Every structure is written in C-alpha cells, then in structure tokens.
Amino acid sequence: MKAWSSLKRTIEKCFVFVINPLSSFPLDFVEGIVAFLPRHSGFYAVIKRFLLNIAGAKIGKCVHIYPGVRIYVPKGLIIGNNVSISSYVVITTAGKVTIGDNVLIGYGAKILSANHRIPGGLGTIYGAGHVCKPVVIEDDVWIGANVIVLPGVTLGKGCVVAAGSVVSRNIAPYSIVGGIPAVYIRRRT
C-alpha cells in the first residue's frame, strides 16, 4: 500500500511539473504569435484573427492588433468590428472581456477582468485565489494611453477615458473621464 501511495505522488508531481505546463502551450503559442506579428491590415491581420478564433476568442472584422499586445487566455475575449488595439496593451480574460464596435485602445492600456483575492483577517495572500468579473467596453469608446480598466467595469457607449486614468467604476455613455480614480469631466457634445 505504501508503494502505491508513493507511485501515486510521483505521477501527480509528473503531471503538475511536466504535463500541466504543456497543456497551456497552444495558448502560449497563440499569445506569442499575436504579440509578435506586425499590425498590417492584410495577411497578418487574417493570421491573428484566425489564431485568436481557434484559441476560443471571437474576433470581428477590421480589427488591428499592433505588435506587443498580450492577450492572456483568448477564450474569454469578444471583439467587435473596426477596433484598434495599440502596442503593449494587456488584456486578461479570466472574467471575460467584451469590446464593441469602433473602439480605440491606446498604447500600454491594461484591461483586467481578474484580480487577486484578499483573504479575510490576516490570512495568507499567496494562494488566496482570484476574483473574476467581466469587463464590457461598449461601441465607439476611446481608451487613452496607459489607462487601467479594473474588473467588473462597463465603459458606456461613446465614452472617452483620458490617458493614464484608472477606471474602477462604470462610466456613463458619452462621458469624458480622467484621473486616478477616473472621475467625470464632462459630457461629449
């Protein structure tokens, strides 16, 4: 019985350290290729769209993804038509991310649909898990450079988020917001 238990532990370790990392290889491959390929609207755009779609994302037409964009786990991503995602944008999709039509996302923006859980009391932070909430970016939104969109946020239709802002709450349609945290500046006219 002891020998069986030892063999079982060895097999489990083998799975965790060898097999399990290999299971994410196809997604890592897709993420790497999408980040590496140029932005051009023809051939490379078709390859990026194809790879993201086979990895589980739903990508619309005329989507421009610049080099350096990192999409972690494409499966939870939906992108509409006529979208431009500039270089060095990071999108995490554990809680799902939906991007509407005619959206501009500036350089270095971070769209995060998951965050680490803070344990109750004085519990250990490492290994406490994650909180996943969907991010929705409605049609005709402009997200400036280096904006951070936190989990659970909806950016209303036609809104503009100023560069460097941190968005922690829903933004009303056609609003212009900015700052840390992002606050209402004025309505688009």
CA distance 173 to 177: 11
Q: What is the CA radius of gyration of the chain?
A: 19
| Active site residues per annotation | 116
Output b/e per residue, 155-167; b: 16+ Cβ within 10 A: bbbbbbbbebbbb
Mean pLDDT of 91-106: 96
What does the pLDDT look like over 55-94, one tens digit per residue? 889 999 989 999 889 998 888 999 999 999 999 999 999 9
Strands 183-187, 175-178: pairing kind:
antiparallel
More confident residue, 162 or 11: 162
Residue ranges covered by each domain of the chain: 23-187
Q: Which fold has domain 23-187?
A: UDP N-Acetylglucosamine Acyltransferase; domain 1 (2.160.10)
The 10s digit of each residue's pLDDT in 173-185 is 999 999 999 999 9
pLDDT value of position 20 = 47
Report how far residue 81's alpha carbon sits from residue 85's, in angstroms, rounded to the nearest whole number: 12
Check whether 15 has a pLDDT greater than 80.
no
Contact in structure between 76 and 94 (CB atoms under 8 Å): yes
Backbone angles phi, psi at 142, to 5 degrees: -120, 115
DSSP sequence for 88-122:
T-EEE-TT-EEE-SS-EE-TT-EEESEEEPPPSTT
pTM > 0.85: no
Residue carrying the six token digits 């299971």: 23
Reduce the secondary structure of 113-178 to three states and give it as a string. Answer: CEEECCCCCCCCCCCCCEEECCEEECCCCEECCCCEECCCCEECCCCEECCCCEECCCECCCEEEE
